[in-house]
Amino acid sequence: MDNDPGLENERLQAENATLRQRVAELQQQVAKLEKRVAELQQRVSELETALSEAKRQATPFARRKRVREPKRAGRKKGQGRFSYRHKPAPEEVSETKRAPLACCPQCGGELVKRKEHEQFVVDIPQIKPVVVCYVTESGYCPHCRKRVRSRHPEQISQATGAAGVVVGPRAKSLAADMKHRLGVSYGKVCAWLDDAFGLQVTRGGWCQADRRLAEQARPVYEELVDTLRASSVVHADETGWRIGTLAAWLWVFTNRETTVYTIRASRGHEVVIEILGREFAGVLNSDCFRAYDAQALSSWLKQKCVGHLLRNLREMEEKKAGGAVRFAREVTALLREGLELKAAKPQLPPETFAERAAVLEQRLDRLIDERRCFSDADNARFAKRLRKHREHLLRFLYVDELEATNNQAERQLRPAVITRKTNGCNRTDGGAEAHAILSSVLATCRQRNVPVLDFLTALQRAVRQPPALAPP
């Protein structure tokens, strides 16, 4: 049966309309894509312009804004002390070398009005290891029924035979200082000592030497812990660490004269009690981490780091707007006034200082009053946090040796952070313990101006009683 021409015509018209509609949709999509391409090209052009202006390849951290008239480098004329390297005395000059000038080096002509010019070069001579042979004697004592042996006061070991060649105490001390205080890896310690002194020791050799040195320094470490327990102020902080593949924490307990590190798998308050003891009677300066607020430490005197609080308040102030920013500004102003009052305390009469301190205390109580209504949730949470630590916020005003911030602990943590980044922490529990002991001794030596190499050398040569660090 033949198809009806009318029906076929209607079908073709419907298909034509559908195709026209599809073409219109595609044209709209093409127009949108062309518009998007134009926007992206403009954005690329803007980024290329900004990149060329900032010169990120040469100065990746430079600011885009440049000062038209930057300050001149150095201090102003007439300000500060001018110092320069003085000319060495004649007895300090090891050798004099002359460079004669017979004639003009350009034309060979004769020279007149001759002058002499002196330049002094202070350099390090080539250093070669000193090899010392210690000859000792032994004999059998019939009375004691054992063999006895002599020992030279400068010996650090009585090993003989295959183990009779040992590295000296100063070299071990220098390697330990580079590794545990400066954060240099064992591989770089090997390379540097070999290049500078021709001292060839493997990484494993330095590691074993550190373990033995840490065992010798253990009594000194325990003495430092006892010193901190009797201190009036102790700063505490902690940072992430690893022992092998397991997570751990490196703790620091320090003040102006003593520093103690310890590495533990726990970040709890038990570590604080283990180091400082339950009967600690000083002031513990720390951040607001909850481990320092445990029930076991509730009776301790504390000071919360004002620097951390000011940093948090600054972040709140940057995020807030309108009336919500007022609370952060008021608390910031109060804390800064407290810092200024602390700095001015030595020049103020006791009555004046007490009055100004009382005013600050009253203002702080009003700012964080529990009955105060906060429209902003962040302000309410921060006020609740300040109420929790209320008695530990302004204690620095009344204890002269107490600082308002915990910068002391943070400064002592920086070498550990460098070691973590360069050396990857410790591989074993024994290595972690050795690092904690040696880092504590080295840091305390620097604080008390004790020569590190001399002290560690005397420590290795001590037979019975280890040398004591200089008193704080």
The DSSP annotation for 313-347 comes to: HHHHHHH--GGGGHHHHHHHHHHHHHHHHHHHGGG
Number of domains in the chain: 1
pTM for the predicted model, two decimal places: 0.75
Please tell me whether residue 147 adopts helix, strand or coil conformation.
strand
Q: Which amino acid is at 447?
A: Q
In a domain, 337, yes or no: yes
Residue 53 has pLDDT above 80, yes or no: no
Segments forming the whole domain that contains residue 317: 306-397
Residue 463 has pLDDT above 90, yes or no: no
Which helix (H) or strand (E) segment holds residue 38: the answer is helix 5-54
Please tell me whether residue 111 adopts helix, strand or coil conformation.
coil
In a domain, 388, yes or no: yes
Segment 272-280 shows an average pLDDT of 94
Main-chain phi, psi angles of 264, to 5 degrees:
-135, 155
Report the pLDDT value the prediction gives residue 57, as an integer from 0 to 100. Answer: 46
In a domain, 138, yes or no: no
Residue 251 has pLDDT above 90, yes or no: yes
Q: Both tokens of residue 327?
A: 């609370």
Least confident of 185-194, 237-246, 403-412, 415-424: 415-424
CA distance 255 to 153: 35
Which helix (H) or strand (E) segment holds residue 247: the answer is strand 246-254
Report the pLDDT value the prediction gives residue 279, as an integer from 0 to 100. Answer: 92
Report the pLDDT value the prediction gives residue 54, as an integer from 0 to 100. Answer: 59
Give me the percent of the chain exceeding a pLDDT of 90: 62
In a domain, 85, yes or no: no
Residue 172 has pLDDT above 50, yes or no: yes
Residue pair 165/201 in contact by the 8 Å Cβ criterion: no
Report the pLDDT value the prediction gives residue 66, as an integer from 0 to 100. Answer: 60
Residue pair 179/192 in contact by the 8 Å Cβ criterion: no
Please tell me whether residue 58 adopts helix, strand or coil conformation.
coil
In a domain, 270, yes or no: no
Task: Provide the b/e sequence for 93-128 (b: ≥16 CB within 10 Å).
Answer: eeeeeeeeeeeeeeeeeeeeeeeeeeeeeeeeeeee
Residue pair 302/388 in contact by the 8 Å Cβ criterion: no
Report the pLDDT value the prediction gives residue 56, as an integer from 0 to 100. Answer: 47
Taking residue 212's Cβ as centre, other Cβ atoms within 10 Å add up to: 14
Report the pLDDT value the prediction gives residue 367, as an integer from 0 to 100. Answer: 93
